């Protein structure tokens, strides 16, 4: 069953995307008043994607440096794009590629890579939940049951992340390969927590990535002539980012579109327009993956083959 699961994730993604496309086709009359997106909107969304990717690479570099891998930005930019592209395939081969590349070229053990991946995920979750909760409280409050439930979910994410980041963990004393692996994991964790700046810098970069994601969606909304409160865009960003972290489907295909598109009604945007904007945002991201990710993957493959 575990070997088939990734393919079921692909099938689920295709089904969800087909449902979104079918819904938009059946309600296309509701979209007839929207103007076509100008080429400048597409270009601006693409450039924002480029800036977000560059900021992500800076966050990755800071966490890698904290656990002992001093990397070059250009190299990590290519590796990041290659990994992102390949993670649309089953079983996340992009993550495997990143781990094996760092091990081959930086003597970066899989145990340290596990710490790196864990901390990057936790920091991303913390930023997402904190900004999402602040936006929810500032703009919408807790008057509705749905708002209170979402606020409770975000608060739980913050609490769980802080516990996983900072709770003291005992060092195992037993011998053997597993004991050595756990000791290496905990040593890398202590190194990360030893200096506050090691967490502050990547957190700031991840906040920039989050804000750029909200800006990209806002640019698409503005291109359609739709008014959206900035706080609402930040809230939709939380929905989208949490769907990416959950990884129910590769790259949250289908899941993200449903959450971000359906959540647009909170901003007073018709669900049809919200779904269309979410699909366009996905199209921009996929275009980036093809235009930049494919050459990046080829470069990484050639470097690995040496």
14 within some domain = no
In order along its 306 residues, the chain shows pLDDT tens digits of 344 556 788 888 889 999 999 999 999 898 888 999 999 999 999 999 999 999 999 999 998 888 778 899 999 999 999 999 998 887 789 999 999 999 999 988 887 888 888 889 989 999 999 999 999 998 888 888 888 998 999 999 999 988 887 877 666 666 666 666 667 667 767 766 766 677 789 999 999 999 999 999 999 999 999 988 888 899 888 888 888 877 778 888 888 999 899 888 888 888 999 999 999 999 999 999 999 999 999 999 999 877
| Any domain includes 273 | yes
What's the predicted TM-score (pTM) here? Answer: 0.88
* Residue 248 in domain: yes
Q: Which long-range contacts (CB under 8 A, 24 or more apart) does 287-290 make?
A: 287/46, 288/46, 288/49, 288/50, 288/53, 289/81, 289/84, 289/85, 289/88, 290/85
Q: How far apart are CA 198 and CA 86, in angstroms?
A: 28
Using CA atoms, how far apart are residues 287 and 114, in angstroms rounded to an integer? Answer: 30
Residue 39, in any domain of the structure: no
Q: What total number of domains does the chain contain? A: 1
Q: Does a structural domain hold residue 269?
A: yes
Does 134 reside within a domain?
A: yes
- Note down the domain range covering 105: 46-301
State how far the alpha carbon of 225 is from the alpha carbons of 7, 29, 277, in Å.
Answer: 39, 17, 12
Is position 252 within any domain?
yes
Q: What angle do CA 153, 140, 162 make, to 5 degrees?
A: 30
The Cα 126–Cα 77 span in angstroms is: 24
Residue 36 lies in a domain: no
């Amino acid at each position: 069953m575990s070997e088939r699961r990734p393919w079921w994730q692909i099938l689920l993604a295709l089904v969800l995307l087909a449902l979104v496309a079918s819904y938009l086709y059946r309600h296309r009359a509701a979209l007839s008043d929207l103007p076509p997106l100008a080429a400048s909107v597409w270009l601006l969304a693409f450039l924002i994607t480029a800036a977000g990717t560059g900021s992500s690479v800076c966050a990755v570099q800071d966490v890698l440096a904290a656990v002992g891998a001093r990397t070059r930005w250009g190299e990590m930019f290519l590796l990041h794009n290659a990994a992102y592209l390949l993670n649309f395939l089953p079983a996340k081969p992009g993550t495997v590629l990143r781990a094996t590349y760092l091990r081959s070229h930086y003597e970066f053990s899989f145990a340290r890579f596990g710490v790196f991946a864990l901390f990057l995920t936790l920091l991303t979750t913390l930023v997402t939940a904190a900004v999402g909760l602040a936006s929810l409280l500032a703009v919408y409050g807790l008057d509705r049951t749905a708002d209170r439930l979402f606020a409770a979910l975000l608060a739980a994410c913050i609490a769980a992340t802080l516990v996983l980041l900072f709770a003291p963990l005992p060092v195992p004393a037993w011998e053997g390969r597993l004991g050595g692996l756990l000791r290496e994991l905990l040593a890398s964790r202590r190194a990360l927590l030893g200096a506050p700046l090691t967490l502050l810098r990547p957190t700031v970069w991840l906040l920039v990535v989050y804000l750029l994601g909200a800006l990209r969606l806002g640019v698409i909304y503005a291109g359609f002539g739709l008014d959206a409160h900035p706080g609402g865009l930040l809230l939709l960003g939380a929905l989208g980012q949490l769907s990416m972290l959950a990884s129910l489907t590769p790259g949250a295909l289908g899941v993200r579109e449903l959450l971000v598109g359906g959540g647009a009604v909170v901003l007073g945007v018709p669900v049809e327009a919200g779904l269309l904007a979410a699909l366009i945002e996905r199209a921009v991201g996929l275009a980036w993956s093809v235009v930049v990710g494919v050459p990046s993957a080829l470069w990484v493959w050639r470097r690995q083959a040496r």
